[in-house]
Amino acid sequence: MSITKRQEQILELLRENRFLSVEKLSKLTYTSPSSIRRDLTKLQNMCFIKRTHGGASILDENNQAAPFSNRMSQNIIGKKKIAKKASAFICDGQDIMLDGSSTAACLIPYIAKHKDIQLFTNNMITAINAINYGIATHCIGGSSINNSPVLSGSQSYRAVSEIHPDILFFSSHSLDVNGIISDPTEEENYLRRLMLSNTKQSVFLCDSEKFNRRALYTLTSLNDVDVAVFDVAWDALKTKCKTL
C-alpha cells in the first residue's frame, strides 16, 4: 500500500515536530481537517504514526520496524540502485542467501540472469518472486514476525545454522556513523547474526534513509562485513569495510 504526497508531507512534519494537532496539520498542508483525519487513520494503520486526542505523533523509528509492505515502497529508487551495484557479486553456480529485507528482495531480477543458482531466504514474498523468475528457491521456515511474510524463530534458527552459502546479501534498520548496524526486531536480528556466521562472503545493503540512525539491538559492525553497498556515498562514515 503506497502513500500520497500529502501523507509524505504529514510524516515529514511529524518527524520534525514529534506531535501536531489536526488543526495545525490542516493549516500547514492547506487541507481540510476531515481529509487530515483520513490521512492520519491510513498512516496509523500502516504503523507510521500514533493517533492521539486531537492530533498525531510519529512512532519512534529507532525502535519500530515498519511493515514489510511499507518498506517495499520506501526509497524504491535507492534500493534498485543498490541492487544493481550489488549484482556485480553474483556469479553462476552460487548458493545465495537473502535475508528478509525489502532491499535484498530487489536482487531477484539480477539473480535470475545467472545459471545454477540455489537461493535461500526467510521471506515468503521474496521466495515466491524468485520461484516466478525460475530460480531454484528454498524458503526457510519459521514463524511470522509481526504478521509479516518474514519468518524467524527456533525453526528458522535451526535451518540457517545448517546452511553455508557462498554469499549473503542482507540489510537492517539502521547504520550509525561509527559503522554499527542495528535493528529494532530481536528475532530478525538474531537470525541475521546466524546467517553472517555461516556465509563465506557478506554484502550489506543500505539506502541513505537508514544513515545516522541507531536501533535497539546491535547486529554487527561494518568492520566485520566484506562489502557495503549504498545508494549514495556517506563521507562521514567511519569504517574499514569496502564500500560501493
Q: Which residues contact 3 (CB under 8 A, 6 or more apart)?
A: 11, 42, 43, 46, 48, 73
> 3-state DSSP call for residue 127?
helix
Task: Quote the CA–CA distance of 26 and 201 in Å, as a whole number.
Answer: 50
Task: Quote the CA–CA distance of 160 and 76 in Å, as a whole number.
Answer: 28
CATH no. of 68-243: 3.40.50.10470
Greatest extent of the chain over all pairs of C-alpha atoms, in Å? 59
> 3-state DSSP call for residue 46?
coil
Residue ranges matching CATH 3.40.50.10470 in the chain: 68-243
Q: pLDDT tens per residue, the chain (244 residues)?
A: 457 889 889 988 988 887 899 999 999 999 999 999 999 988 876 667 878 778 888 765 444 455 555 555 566 888 999 999 999 999 999 999 999 999 999 999 999 999 999 999 999 999 999 999 999 999 999 998 777 889 999 999 999 999 999 999 999 999 999 999 999 888 889 999 999 999 999 999 999 989 988 888 899 999 999 999 999 999 999 999 999 9
Q: In sequence order, which ranges of the chain are alpha helices (DSSP H)?
A: 5-17, 22-29, 33-45, 68-73, 76-86, 102-105, 108-111, 124-132, 154-161, 186-198
Angle at the Cα of 80 from the Cα atoms of 76 and 82, rounded to 5 degrees: 115
Q: Retrieve residue 153's grid coordinates.
A: 524463530
Q: What is the pTM of this model?
A: 0.73
> 3-state DSSP call for residue 5?
helix
DSSP 188-238: HHHHHHHHHHH-SSEEEEE-GGGBT---SEEEEEGGGSSEEEESS--TT--
Q: Retrieve residue 84's grid coordinates.
A: 544493481
CATH no. of 5-58: 1.10.10.10
Angle at the Cα of 41 from the Cα atoms of 39 and 45, rounded to 5 degrees: 115
Residue ranges matching CATH 1.10.10.10 in the chain: 5-58
